[in-house]
A and B are shown apart, each in its own frame.
Chain A
Amino acid sequence: MLEKALSGSRRYWAWVAVLLALIAVGFSTYLKQYHEGLGITGMSRDVSWGLYIAQFTFLVGVAASAVMVAIPYYLHNYKKFGKIVILGEFLAVASVVMCVLFIFVDLGQPVRVLNVLLHPTPHSVMFWDMIVLSGYLLLNIIIGWTSLGAERKGFPPPSWVKPLIYIAIPWAVSIHTVTAFLYAGLPGRSHWLTAIMAARFLASAFAAGPALLVILCLLLRRLSTFDAGRESIQALAKIVAYAMSANVFFFLLEVFTAFYSHIPEHMAPIRYLFFGLDGHRGLVGFMWSAAILAFVGIGLLINPSTRKNERVLPFALAAVFIAAWIDKGLGLIVGGFIPNPMGRITEYAPTLPEIWITLGVYSIGLLVLTVLYKVAIAVREEESLAAHG
C-alpha cells in the first residue's frame, strides 16, 4: 500500500519537499548538538529540561487522544466515526514517533540509549514509559495498517485485530498516565507534585488531540476527496469543548490548593508563570495568551451557533490547541524548574538551534503523518471508484 504515497499532485510533492528541507536543517543542527553537547540549547543546571521534553509530554497527549475516536466507534458503535478512526490511529503513530525522537534528541549520550534495555530498571518510571510508548506505537501501526489493508480488499478487519483494538483503549490512557508519573512522583518539585497531574494530562490531551484531528479533517476536505462528514466533526468538536473545560477546571483546582493553603513553594511556580517572580517574567505573556485562548476556544465550541459555523470552528479549535500547547509544551515543564530547589530563579528560553531541532522533529512527524494519510485516502478513493465504476 505504501506505493500510494509515491504518486501525488504537485502540491503534495511541494509539501513533502518543504518537510524534507526542514528535516535537513534540523538534522544538521542536531549533528552540531551531537558534537558540541546540549550546551547549545537554552537548558541549564537549574532548568535541566526544556523544549524537547515539553514537546515529548505534549505529543504523548496527542497520541493518546486517538481513543476519543476509538471509544465511541468501537465501544458504542458510533458509526459516524468509522471514516476517521484510521486518521486517529495514524495521528497516534506520527505522534509517538515524534515523542521517541524528542526523548532521543534530549539525551546527553544518545549512543548509550540501549542502556535502558540492557539494565532494565522497574523502579524508574522512565522504564515503564518506554514500554508503554513502544507498545502503543506497535498497536496503532498494526491496527491501522491491517484495517486499511482489509478495507482495500473489501473485507472487514481480521478477527485477531479486535482484541488489539480493545487493548489499545486502556493502553492509550496508560501512556499519558505513566508520562504524568514521570513528574508527579518527584519529591522536590512542588509544581508537579500533585495527584491530579495524570487527570490534567488526560483532559488536556483529549482536548488538544481531537482539536488537531478536526483541523486535519477540515484540511483534508479542502485538499483531497476525503470528507469526514459534518456530524463526526461536530461530535469531535463537542468532545474538545468538554475536555478543555475539564482541563481548565483541573488547573483552577491547582490554583485554589496552592493559594488557599498559601504554601510558598506551591504558589511560587504559578506566580512565576502568570505574574513573574522578582522581576523574572519570561513566560507571563505566553501564559496569559493561553488563558485567554482557552476561554475563547471553549466559549466558541460550547455555543452551538459558533461551533456549527465551519468558518469559526477552525479558529476555535486552533485556540484550544495553542492554549494546550503553551500550557503543556512550555509552562508545565519549565515552570516545574522555576524557582529551583533552593528558591533561586534561573529563567529559560530555547536557543535558535534548539528551535531548529524541534522543528526538524515536528517535520519528521508531519512527514510520517502525510505519508500515512496519503495512503489511507488513496485506498478510500480506489474503493469508491470500484464501487461506482
Chain B
Amino acid sequence: MSVTRRRFLKLGLTTLAGIGGAMALDGFWRGSAEASEVLTDQKALKAKHWAMVIDSDRLKSAENVQRMIDACHRTHNVPDFGNSKDEIKWMGTETYEHAFPGQENGYLNEGIKEKLFPVLCNHCENPACVRVCPTQATFKRPDGIVAMDYHRCIGCRFCMAACAFGARSFNFRDPRPFIKQVNPDFPTRTKGVVEKCNFCVERLEKGLPPACVEASNGALIFGDLDDPNSEVRQVLATHYSIRRKPELGTEPSVYYLIGGGEEHA
C-alpha cells in the first residue's frame, strides 16, 4: 500500500475543520497568540491528534531517509556543526537494535537488522518533556503536537533528561553561523535553548504536509489518529505496527510498520 502526496492532500482537505477556529493553532507561539490568529489560513490542516506512520518497507535505502532528514533540516534551519557533541537533529536514524532497544534478537532478518529507521520526536500523548518543563516552554497543543516556545525556554535541559527517545537537542552554541542556507520562513534559534521536531506546525498551518512526509515518497503517512477514516487509521487497522518503548506509557504518536521485507497489499 502506498500513499501518494495527492492522496495525502485529499485526506487533509477532509480533515479541514470549519472556518476561523484558531483553536488548533492557539499556543504555537504562545507569546503571540493574536499574531497566530491573524495567520490562520483557511487551507490549514487540522486534526484532533496528529500522528505519523513510518512504513519501513518503503524506505529502500539510506538515501531515502537522508532525503527526508535533509528536507526537515533545511526547512527548519537546523545547523550542522560537524561534530556529534553539539549536534542538533530533529530527525535522525538508528538501526533496529537502537531504535527499538529490547526488541532485538540475535537472529533478526538481515534486512531489518541493517536498515536505518528514521527517529524523531514521537509527539507523545503523555509527554515526559512537557511534565518536567518548569516554564511551559514545551507544551502540548490541542491537536496532539508537542511544541516549543524558543523564546521562553531557559535552557535547563530537564526535558532532555526526561525524554526517553533522545529526541531533543540543545543549542550548545550560536547555531546561526552553521546554517548552510537560512530559510526565511522559519525562525532560527539562539544559543542556550532546546529544540526538536515540531511535526511541521508551520506547514500544516499553510495546508502543507510535513516536509519529511513530502520528501518520503509515500513512506511516511501523516494524519488524524482520532478520525477513523483517516489514512493513518486505515493503515494501522490493516498492518502490524510497533512504537518505540511503549512500556514507558508515554504513548508515542509515531508508529512503525515493520513488514519483514515483502511488499504488503
- Contacts A48-B157, A108-B154, A109-B193; is A123 near B131 (CB within 8 Å)? yes
Interface of chain B, main secondary structure = loop
Taking residues whose C-beta sits less than 8 angstroms from the other chain, chain B's interface range is: 35 or more
| Count of interface residues, chain A, beta-carbon cutoff 8 Å | 45
What string of 1s and 0s marks CB contacts (under 8 Å) between B100-126 and chain A? 011000000000000000010000000
In the assembled complex, how far is the CB of residue B50 from the closest CB belonging to chain A, in whole angstroms?
22
Q: Tell me, in angstroms, the Cα distance from A327 to B180 when the chains sit together.
A: 43
Indicate which residue in A37, A119, A126, A336 contacts B132 across the interface (CB closer than 8 Å).
Answer: A126
- Contacts A107-B192, A187-B128, A342-B98; is A38 near B170 (CB within 8 Å)? yes
Q: Is A189 an interface residue (CB 8 A)?
A: yes
- Contacts A336-B161, A341-B165, A342-B166; is A188 near B191 (CB within 8 Å)? no
A44 touches B85 (CB 8 A): yes
Residue of A at shortest CB range from B155?
A108
Residue of B at shortest CB range from A34?
B192
A48 touches B160 (CB 8 A): yes
Q: Is B29 an interface residue (CB 8 A)?
A: no
A121 touches B135 (CB 8 A): yes
User: Which of B36-44, B69-77, B171-179 makes up part of the contact surface?
Assistant: B171-179
Indicate which residue in B87, B134, B155, B169 contacts A121 across the interface (CB closer than 8 Å).
Answer: B134
Indicate which residue in A45, A49, A125, A189 contacts B87 across the interface (CB closer than 8 Å).
Answer: A45
Residue of B at shortest CB range from A41?
B172
Q: A37 — which chain B residues lie within 8 A by C-beta?
A: 171-174, 191-192
Q: Tell me, in angstroms, the Cα distance from A130 to B158 when the chains sit together.
A: 14
In the assembled complex, how far is the CB of residue B175 from the closest CB belonging to chain A, in whole angstroms?
9
- Point out residues on B near A: beta carbons under 8 Å: 84-88, 94, 97-99, 101-102, 119, 128, 131-137, 152-158, 160-166, 169-174, 190-194, 245, 248-250
A-B contact pairs, 26 of them (CB 8 A): A37-B173, A37-B191, A38-B170, A38-B192, A45-B160, A45-B166, A45-B170, A106-B156, A106-B157, A108-B157, A108-B193, A112-B155, A113-B154, A115-B135, A124-B133, A126-B132, A183-B161, A186-B132, A186-B161, A186-B164, A188-B165, A188-B245, A265-B102, A340-B166, A341-B101, A342-B94
